[in-house]
């Protein structure tokens, strides 16, 4: 998480909010105060102006209504008396003053150059003279720096007749009011600037006191997000933020405990999944793989990172069997064939769904296992039963035919009867050999027959076996010996190893052509000896070489039965060699003969002479 800049922080927002509140309060108070002050100054100015005008009008009314011809003496003129009144009562409140008679002539003014001149085009003055109505207007004096001025036009009324005899026009500047308001406004602006500075300082202090624990909790939350629950935030008080800090620390403890529990369960689950022999695949509600363990990855032949994100229907090649992943629940389990042309590979998949508290489908758990060997065993079992049945049925059928012939009178024929009895005896011996071989294999499979191993010099044993074959063989087949002239001690069951060599030599003689040669070689290697028996027979196809050690397997079934073989000799030999901790295999090419190899471990010095 990136660090929050000052311009994006809550601290700046608190400062701005406090400043705006203070400015708003100052502006509301200032506006109200200035408005009230302006009204008060205007009222005071109007009262003072009205009082001065009233005095002037009262004196001017006396002058205008005075009878100057009654005494017969010449007294001061109207203009002089008006001038005396103007000089006496005119103050600095008036910027201009004019007294106009009923003839629209100026009889008095603060400016002497205008006395005696007639007024023209003054509608307000005419209205005042005609109707006796006062007038008031406000304007800016264009000749004197545009100062704001109030003009009052007041009629001078004859008290006897009640008709206007003149007009008083005064101009009074109100610029002083606005100068005072400007001074007050400046004071408010200075106070506002000072208040802004104070509010910023207070805002910083208040914001810091509020945001400091929040900042600490933010930092601790980032630490907790990385899985570190060892630290706690400081509690600075018992207010809401302090209670939040206490709650945050409590949440930290609970998360620490929950994380430890989750991590422990995760490790257990990971260990279980890793050490399971079966594969496990988990998907989401859409059938997309979210988890896959190692055995499952090996079984489907995909890396975990490649399988994740893929649909399980595609990974398990089930497009032809299901459309929606939810259908797999009804399927229960399936056997999936991943076989190739060369290898059989079968996988069994068992499906179970995952639901939430509302029983909504949220995913699928699939357990897969390799059932190739089970299938192979089952096939071998079926094939074994079939082969045993076939091997027993053939001699039994032959014996029944000959016995029926003897029963029907062939026994009286001195030429046919002995021959029939000989065939019956041969088939009986063949069945006995087959049953004995089967019993021997069964005992070896169930570990019932113990090997009678003794320390033995293998070289003379091998020579004895080969001498016996050379004496009893009737075919024109030579036996070449490549045996070292030294003592080779092995820990073996002599009878069993003799049986192994007998089985291999018998097969080599059976399948070798007239005039052929069998090569018997014994080679001493490190910690073991290797024996090879090579014939010059027809050979075995490459794809069939490994199958010759299977039970009842015959390369040439017709010839094997003709030669009296049961198909179990090499299978028994394999069991015996492996019981001696050796290994047996074959190499062959068609038309070039076959070589059977098997190894036996050499005598260990630690073994001494123990049985």
Banded model confidence at residue 459, pLDDT cuts 50, 70, 90: very high
What average pLDDT score do residues 442-468 get? Answer: 79
Give whichever of 143-152, 323-332, 588-597 has the largest mean pLDDT: 588-597
Nearest to 419 by CA among 408, 433, 405, 434: 405
Q: End-to-end distance of the chain based on CA atoms, in angstroms?
A: 74
How high is the pLDDT of residue 9?
A: 67
DSSP 486-548: S--EEEE-HHHHHHHHHHHHHHHHHHSPTT-EEEEEEEEETTEEEEEEE--SS---GGGGGGG
CATH number attached to the domain at 376-444: 1.10.287.130
How high is the pLDDT of residue 441?
A: 64
Q: Where in the chain are the domains? A: 12-180, 236-275, 277-364, 376-444, 451-607
As a dihedral over the C-alpha atoms of residue 180, residue 182, residue 183, residue 189, rounded to 10 degrees, the angle is 150
How high is the pLDDT of residue 558?
A: 47
For the chain, percent of residues with pLDDT exceeding 70 = 84
How high is the pLDDT of residue 521?
A: 94
Q: What angle do CA 527, 531, 535 make, to 5 degrees?
A: 160
How high is the pLDDT of residue 610?
A: 40
How high is the pLDDT of residue 531?
A: 93
How high is the pLDDT of residue 450?
A: 67
Q: Has residue 530 got a pLDDT over 90?
A: yes
C-alpha–C-alpha distance, residues 301 and 413, integer Å: 71
C-alpha–C-alpha distance, residues 479 and 534, integer Å: 10
Determine contact, residues 499/437, Cβ cutoff 8 Å: no
Banded model confidence at residue 189, pLDDT cuts 50, 70, 90: confident
Q: Has residue 399 got a pLDDT over 80?
A: no
Q: Has residue 322 got a pLDDT over 60?
A: yes
Q: Tell me how crowded residue 603 is: count the other CB atoms within 10 A of its CB.
A: 18
Q: Per-residue pLDDT tens for 244-270?
A: 888 888 888 888 888 888 888 878 877
Range 12-180 classified under CATH 1.10.287.110:
no
Q: Per-residue pLDDT tens for 206-256?
A: 777 777 777 778 788 888 887 787 788 888 777 777 888 888 888 888 888
How high is the pLDDT of residue 460?
A: 92
Q: Tell me how crowded residue 284 is: count the other CB atoms within 10 A of its CB.
A: 15
Sheet with strand 346-355: strands edge to edge: 289-292, 279-283, 361-370, 346-355, 333-337
Banded model confidence at residue 609, pLDDT cuts 50, 70, 90: very low
Three-state secondary-structure class, residue 584: strand
Q: Per-residue pLDDT tens for 486-508?
A: 999 998 988 889 888 988 988 88
Range 277-364 classified under CATH 3.30.450.20:
yes
Give the predicted TM-score (pTM) of the model.
0.41
Highest CATH level, class, for 451-607:
alpha beta
Determine contact, residues 477/509, Cβ cutoff 8 Å: yes
Within 13 A of 585's CA, how many CA atoms are on the CB side? 6
As a dihedral over the C-alpha atoms of residue 110, residue 113, residue 116, residue 118, rounded to 10 degrees, the angle is -90
**Structure tokens given for 88:** 């006496």
**Greater model confidence, 449 or 221:** 221
Q: Per-residue pLDDT tens for 108-140?
A: 888 888 888 887 766 788 888 887 788 877 777
Q: Has residue 74 got a pLDDT over 90?
A: no
Q: Do 12-180 and 277-364 fold alike per CATH?
A: yes
What average pLDDT score do residues 1-9 get? Answer: 58
Give whichever of 179-188, 380-389, 546-555 has the largest mean pLDDT: 179-188
* HEC letters along 80-125: HHHHHHHHHHCCCCEEEEEEEECCCEEEEECCHHHCCCECCCCHHH
């Amino acid at each position: 998480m990136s660090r929050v800049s000052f311009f994006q922080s809550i601290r700046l927002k608190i400062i701005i909010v406090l400043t705006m509140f203070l400015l708003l309060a100052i502006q509301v108070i200032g506006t109200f105060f200035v408005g009230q002050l302006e009204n008060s100054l205007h009222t005071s100015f109007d009262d003072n102006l009205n009082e001065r005008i009233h005095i002037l009008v009262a004196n001017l009314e006396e002058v205008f209504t005075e009878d100057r011809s009654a005494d017969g003496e010449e007294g001061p003129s109207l203009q002089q008396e008006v001038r005396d009144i103007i000089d006496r009562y005119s103050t600095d409140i008036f910027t201009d003053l004019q007294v106009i008679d009923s003839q629209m002539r100026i009889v008095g003014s603060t400016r002497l150059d205008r006395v005696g001149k007639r007024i023209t085009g003054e509608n307000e003055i005419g209205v005042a003279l005609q109707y006796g109505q006062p007038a008031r207007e406000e304007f800016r004096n264009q000749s004197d720096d545009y100062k704001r001025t109030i003009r009052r036009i007041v009629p001078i009324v004859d008290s006897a007749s009640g008709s206007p005899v003149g007009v008083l026009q005064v101009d009074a500047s109100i610029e002083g009011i606005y100068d005072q308001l400007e001074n007050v406004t400046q004071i408010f602006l200075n106070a506002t600037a000072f208040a802004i500075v104070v509010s910023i300082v207070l805002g910083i202090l208040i914001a810091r006191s509020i945001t400091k624990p929040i900042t600490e909790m933010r930092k601790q939350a980032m630490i907790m997000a990385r899985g570190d629950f060892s630290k706690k935030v400081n509690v600075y008080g018992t207010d809401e933020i302090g209670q939040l800090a206490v709650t945050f620390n409590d949440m930290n403890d609970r998360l620490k405990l929950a994380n430890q529990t989750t991590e422990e369960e995760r490790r257990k689950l990971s260990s279980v999944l890793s050490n399971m022999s079966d594969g496990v695949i988990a998907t989401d509600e859409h059938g997309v793989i979210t988890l896959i363990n190692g055995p499952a990855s090996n079984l489907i032949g995909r890396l975990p990172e490649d399988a994740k994100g893929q649909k399980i229907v595609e990974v398990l090649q089930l497009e032809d069997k299901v459309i929606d992943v939810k259908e797999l629940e009804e399927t229960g389990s399936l056997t999936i064939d991943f076989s190739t042309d060369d290898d059989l590979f079968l996988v069994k998949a068992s499906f179970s769904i995952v639901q939430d508290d509302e029983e909504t489908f949220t995913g699928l758990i699939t357990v897969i296992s390799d059932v190739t060997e089970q299938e192979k065993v089952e096939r071998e079992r079926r094939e074994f039963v079939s082969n045993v049945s076939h091997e027993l049925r053939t001699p039994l059928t032959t014996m029944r035919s000959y016995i029926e012939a003897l029963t029907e009178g062939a026994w009286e024929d001195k030429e046919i009867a002995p021959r029939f009895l000989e065939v019956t005896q041969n088939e009986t011996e063949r069945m006995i050999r087959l049953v004995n071989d089967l019993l021997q294999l069964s005992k070896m499979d169930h570990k019932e027959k113990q090997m009678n191993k003794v320390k033995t010099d293998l070289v003379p044993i091998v020579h004895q076996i080969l001498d016996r074959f050379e004496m009893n063989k009737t075919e024109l087949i030579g036996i070449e010996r490549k045996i070292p002239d030294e003592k080779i001690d092995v820990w073996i069951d002599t009878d069993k190893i003799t049986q192994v060599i007998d089985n291999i030599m018998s097969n080599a003689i059976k399948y070798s052509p007239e005039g052929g040669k069998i090569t018997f070689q014994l080679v001493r290697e490190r910690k073991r000896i290797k024996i090879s028996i090579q014939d010059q027979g027809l050979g075995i196809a490459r794809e069939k070489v490994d199958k010759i050690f299977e039970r009842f397997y015959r390369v040439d079934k017709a010839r094997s039965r003709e030669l009296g073989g049961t198909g179990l000799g090499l299978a028994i030999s394999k069991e015996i060699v492996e019981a001696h901790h050796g290994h047996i295999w074959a190499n062959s090419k068609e038309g070039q003969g076959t070589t059977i190899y098997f190894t036996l471990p050499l005598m260990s010095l630690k073994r001494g002479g123990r049985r």
